[in-house]
Structure 1
Amino acid sequence: MEAALVAVAHGSRDPRSAAAVAALMDEVRRRRPDLDVRLSFLDLSAPRLPDVLAAVDGVHDRAVVVPLLLGHAFHARVDVPGAVAEAARRHPGLAIGTAEVLGGDPRLEDAALDRLAAVAGRLDDPDLGVVVAAIGSSHAPANDAVHRIAQRWAARFGWAAARAAFATATTPTVPDAIRSVRAAGARRVAVAPWILAPGLLPDRMARDALATDPTAVVAGPLADHPSVAAVVADRWAAAAVPAERGRLVG
Structure 2
Amino acid sequence: MPAPALVALAHASRDPRTTSTITELVDQVKTQRPDLRVERAFVQHGAHRGKPDFQTVVDRLVKAGHEEIVVVPLVMSEAFGAPSDIEGALAEAGARHPGLRLQCTAILGMEACFLEVLDQRMREALQDARVRELDALVLAAAGSTDPLANQSVARLARLWGTHHRLPVTAAYAANTPPATGEAVRAFRAEGRRHIAVASLFLTPGELTDRAEELALEAGAIAVSKPLGAHPEVARIVLARYAVGAVELVPV
Superposition TM-score, scaled by structure 1 size:
0.89
- Describe the SS at the equivalent of 1:117: helix
Give the drift of 1:120: 3.1
Q: Indicate whether 1:134 and 2:141 are aligned.
A: yes
2:226 aligned with 1:225: no
State which drifts further: 94-103 or 67-76.
67-76
**Which consecutive residues of structure 1, in runs of 5 or more, have no partner in the other structure?**
246-250
1: CA distance between counterparts of 2:162 and 2:38?
38
How far does residue 13 in structure 1 lie from its aligned partner after superposition? 1.2
Aligned-pair CA distance for 1:46: 2.0
Match of 1:70 among 68, 76, 79: 76
Q: Per-residue CA shift, 1:44-78, capped at 9, x if unaligned? A: 22222222112211321110000001113454431
Shift of 1:9: 0.9
Distance, in Å, in 2 between the alignment partners of 1:228 and 1:203 is 21
Name the SS of the counterpart of 1:170 in structure 2. coil
Tell me, yes or no, if structure 1 residue 195 matches structure 2 residue 197: no
Relative to the length of structure 2, the TM-score reads: 0.89
Q: Distance in 1 between matches of 2:176 and 2:110?
A: 21
Which residue of the other structure, out of 37, 49, 61, is the alignment partner of 1:56? 61
Q: How does 1:1-250 map to 2 (within 5 A)?
A: 1-43=2-44, 44=48, 45-59=50-64, 60-120=66-126, 127-159=134-166, 161-213=167-219, 216-241=221-246, 242-244=248-250
AA of the residue aligned to 1:107: C
Which whole-Å CA distance do the structure 1 matches of 2:60 and 2:98 have between them?
A: 14
Measured at CA, do residues 185 and 153 of structure 1 come closer, stay the same or move farther in structure 2, by a change above 3 Å?
farther
Q: How has the CA–CA distance of structure 1 residues 74 and 209 changed in structure 2, closer, same or farther, with 3 Å as cutoff?
A: closer
**Do 2:77 and 2:144's aligned partners in 1 also have CA atoms closer than 8 Å?**
no
Name the SS of the counterpart of 2:113 in structure 1: helix
Look up the equivalent residue of 1:177 and give its one-letter code: A
Distance 1:127 1:30 in 2: 36
- AA aligned to 2:163 is R
Amino acid corresponding to residue 192 of structure 2 in structure 1: A
Give the Cα–Cα distance (whole angstroms) in 1 for the partners of residues 249 and 81 of structure 2. Answer: 26
Preserved contact between residue 131 and residue 178 of structure 1 (Cα < 8 Å): yes
Contact 2:110 2:156 in 1 (8 A): no
Distance, in Å, in 1 between the alignment partners of 2:187 and 2:69 is 45
User: How far apart are 1:185 and its partner, in Å?
Assistant: 4.3
Whole-angstrom CA distance in 1 between matches of 2:162 and 2:81: 31
Deviation at 1:115, TM superposition (A): 1.0
Q: Which runs of 5+ in 2 are unaligned?
A: none
Distance 1:186 1:148 in 2: 22
C-alpha distance in 2, partners of 1:18/1:126?
35
Question: Alignment RMSD, CA only?
Answer: 1.9
| Residues 126 and 158, structure 1, Cα contact 8 Å, conserved in 2 | no
The percent identity for this pair of structures is 38
Deviates more, 1:220-229 or 1:37-46: 37-46
